[in-house]
Amino acid sequence: MASMSEMGRIIRGGERVALSHYSLDAEQWEAMLAAPGATLSLLSCWADEHRVYVLLLEGDCPLIASTTMEERRYLAPSSRFPAAEWGERVAYDLWGVEAMSASGDGQPALDEGVWEATWPLSSRPGPGGQAARPVAGRTVLPAEKSGLTGPLELSFDVVRGKVQGVSVNAGLAHRGVLHRMIGLTPEESLPLVSRMTAGGFVAHPLAFCRAVAQARGLQPGPGVRDCWMILLEIERMSVHLFDMARTARSVDAGLLATHCEHAREAIASACAEQGISRRLTDLVRCDGFRVGLEIVPLAQAVVSAMQPRMAQLRELQSVFAPRLKGLAVLSPAQAREFAVGGLVGRASGRSLDVRRREAGMRLDALRSTGSSEGDGAARDALRLTEIRDSLALIQRILGSIGMDDDEPAPEATQEGIGVAEGARGDIWYWVRLRNGKIDAVQARDPSVSLLSVLPAVLQGETPERLPAALRSLALSPSGVAM
């Protein structure tokens, strides 16, 4: 803890500009990156034309450090945090700001040469480049064949039948959603956030609304908080079943896949019968939840639909588990270094679950601990265990819904950080308001951490196992380039 606090001490020596945000000068920024001892976990790195930011995790508390650009350059956070490389590459492609002493190879993250303008968000954009040509000898796997969904391409070399040198082309996945939110009110932005990823129709808007509430100095009451928790657990079960089904199909475990699909359909039908969307879209709002949502009968219907199916799912999962043994192994060291959270991180020995830090959480329901094996079998088993925990958590909440005392409201600083533990990992939003509208916003989807470590995880796999590997990891292209 002492070594961790050294970096934190340097950050807190800067100018406090918000609840957990400190502005550092150039010397403090350099000292932070050179701080002796253990490194805080990096969650996200981003930059615009004027500043560079890092969102760190100190224990279970978020901490933001930022510094100003000097002639469109800055000392690269990736010199200390390898996972910062993706954010640095994105910042260069969008703004033309250069990370000095970066750890990566300088390859573009988004601009593959087909954009009409280079550095499109910069005040000095340049002419568009020429489309990059594929490197001779490399295998390119489009999304529909790789197991990814959406406009991502996987390229790699094959040496003696094994995959080497994996890279991901995310250029066509970039939608510019965050930039479109600038100048809108949080309420006007919410429809964009609510459809950020198909695996986070609840988790993304929930993290965003928590950030907005903190910026405004508001604290949702226990009734709202418990409703949000239940919606998040229903989504967790549905997404876990989706990921289990896709993984099972890729290893010819059709019986398990069918049972997972039927269970997911039962959840969707229960939602529809309660008069809401099958995938829980547009339910979370900045001031609570959609008018007319009856959370208690919804939760009871979902529990009734899922509980009878659990024993059969557990039996089938154990039967087909050997087919996923040794698949796409993420080591505990890799999970820690690249801040891989969520289910994938927990299956690799990283115990981070941001639900445990939430006020009002019924901690006795969160029993799953994961393993350190970090392979496809560990992830699949943990998905089913977390579904069990979600059912228990929903029932605990129903037993005391809205009964806890209100939490004190935070200081209103017009800047806030919000987080939600989505089905695929911890989702973070940072929002800065000005005159009631969004002045700056950044989102961190768990897929970004996976993208950073993907080449190492897929190294040595056989090409025919790549679809199963990617489906087991549940990498979401829509979360990579927002």
Every domain of the chain and the residues it spans: 2-127, 177-480
pLDDT of residue 149: 52
| Local confidence pLDDT in tens for the 482 residues of the chain | 444 479 999 999 999 999 999 999 999 999 999 998 777 899 999 999 999 999 999 988 899 999 999 999 999 999 999 889 989 999 999 999 999 998 877 778 787 777 778 898 988 887 776 555 555 556 765 555 555 555 567 788 999 999 998 887 766 567 789 999 999 999 999 999 999 998 999 999 999 999 999 999 999 999 999 999 999 999 999 999 999 999 999 999 999 999 999 999 999 999 999 999 999 999 999 999 999 999 999 999 999 999 999 999 999 999 999 999 999 999 999 998 888 999 999 999 998 899 998 888 898 889 887 788 999 999 999 999 999 999 999 999 999 998 876 678 888 899 999 999 999 999 999 999 999 999 999 999 998 888 889 999 999 999 999 999 999 999 887 777 67
Which residues, including other chains, have CB under 8 Å from residue 284's CB and lie 6 or more apart? Answer: 190, 194, 202, 205, 206, 209, 228, 231
Say whether domain 2-127 belongs to CATH 1.10.3720.10: no
CA 305, distance to chain mean position in Å, is 28
Domain topology for 177-480: Cytochrome-c3 Hydrogenase; chain B (1.10.645)
Bridge-based pairing state of the strands 73-75 and 98-100: parallel
Look up residue 272 and give its two tokens.
């529809």
Looking at residue 130, the DSSP 8-state letter turns out to be P
- Cα separation, 49 vs 335, in Å, equals 31
Other beta carbons within 10 angstroms of residue 117's beta carbon come to: 13
This model's pTM is above 0.75: yes
Three-state secondary structure readout of 196-265:
CCCCCCCHHHHHHHHHHHHHHCCCCCHHHHHHHHHHHHHHHHHHHHHHHHHHHHHCCCHHHHHHHHHHHH
